[in-house]
Structure 1
Amino acid sequence: HGFINQSGGQISVHSKPGDGSTFLLYLPVSDQPPTPLPVDEKPSEKIGGNERILLVEDDHLVQNVVKHQLESLGYQVITATGGQQALNLLREGNAVDLLFTDLRMPGMGGRQLAQLASEQCPYLKILFTTGFAGHDDEGDGLQDNTNLIRKPYHRAELAQCLRRVLTRQGNT
């Protein structure tokens, strides 16, 4: 839904009890030629690390893809599917260097999670992600967007963003 809206498209839903539902996704036509995907960086240019990251993502498919990306960059990854589970992992003594959380999740949103996690771990670095285009979404009031990466993103973009946040002073 976020990608469709972000792209200027629409979604139409037709549903009838007993007959099922039809979802029509309309994407805008582009007059631009296709842009080739960037080739993944060479191993010598890899911007990774060995820090420990707490990944909080409620969509299991997205969580698995991102976890794989993070691990391929050399990071140690702990996962949680929601804010409360993430806070429990921190309370149990799981030391992490960075909280990487979706802004929009059922129950506790990413901003609330970040605030509570920062109270437990004052030096915790935080990186937010979202697939929604709006700036008025829950918690998407990030003034300079330096600790926000918008979905979809490429592995190289994620790597650069993580290094920027991990090497910055302070937790945001």
Structure 2
Amino acid sequence: MIRVLLADDDDAMRDFLARALARAGYGVESVDRGTTALAKIQAGERFDLLLTDIVMPEMDGIELAQKASVIDPNLRVMFITGFSAVTLRAGQAMPNAKVLSKPFHLKDLVLEVDRVFDVGSMSGLS
């Protein structure tokens, strides 16, 4: 099973995204901040995708992605953000990462994650 580490400081958004990805067949571990996500990666937990909000307290998603990629160069990264100004910064910092701007439909999120892993839609979302 493909494992996703989801980092988002918005409780409702994090729960919403985690449920959608789980329903689509992904294993999801969700945390409320970048420092907690990084600790999991540093502890040796294996994830296939880091799905992170960019704007978070303590450590933003870009810094998290950069540090996580040093620890696990095979970790794929996808950013989510509601701030268009930081989208460009994310693309410059992590050019291979996908950036998904809020608001988005859950099926769009699942389709983008499916594309990252080159799989047909695993979900029944409509």
Report the AA paired with residue 60 of structure 1. D
Structure possessing the higher radius of gyration over alpha carbons? 1
Runs of 4+ in 1 over 2 A off after TM superposition: 137-141, 143-146
Give me the whole-angstrom Cα distance separating, in 1, the residues matched to 2:109 and 2:87.
22
Q: Determine whether 1:111 maps to 2:62.
A: yes
TM-score normalized by structure 1? 0.62
- Say which is worse superposed, 88-97 or 65-74, in terms of deviation: 88-97
Identity %, equivalent residues: 35
Secondary structure at the aligned position of 2:80 is classed as strand
1:127 counterpart residue number: 78
For residues 92 and 158 of structure 1, the distance between their equivalents in structure 2, rounded to whole angstroms, comes to 28
1:152 to 1:145, Cα distance in 2 relative to 1, 3 A:
farther
Q: Secondary structure at the match of 2:50?
A: strand
Corresponding position of 1:68? 19
Q: Which runs of 5+ in 2 are unaligned?
A: 119-126
Q: Distance in 2 between matches of 1:65 and 1:155?
A: 9
Q: What is the letter of the counterpart of residue 61 of structure 2? A: G
Question: SS of the residue aligned with 1:77?
Answer: strand
Instruction: Give the Cα separation in 1 of the matches to 2:80 and 2:110.
Output: 13
What do you get for the CA RMSD once the two structures are aligned?
2.0
Per the alignment, in what secondary structure is the counterpart of residue 107 of structure 1? coil
Distance 1:84-1:139 versus aligned 2 partners, 3 A rule: farther
Q: Structure 1's 141 and 97: CA in aligned 2 closer, same or farther, altered over 3 A?
A: closer
* Structure 1 unpaired stretches of 5+: 1-49, 168-172
Higher relative CO (CA 8 A, sep ≥ 6), structure 1 or 2? Answer: 2
Query: CA separation of 1:121/1:65 partners in 2, compared to 1, >3 Å: closer, same or farther?
Result: same
Kindly state the Cα deviation for residue 80 of structure 1 after the two structures are TM-superposed: 1.3
CA, structure 1 residues 109+93, in 2 after alignment: closer, same or farther (shift >3 Å)?
same
TM-score by length of 2: 0.83
- Separation in 2 of the partners of 1:106 and 1:56? 11
Q: Deviations over 1:93-136 (max 9, x none)?
A: 211000000011112111110000001111000000001122xx
Distance 1:82 1:146, change over 3 A: closer
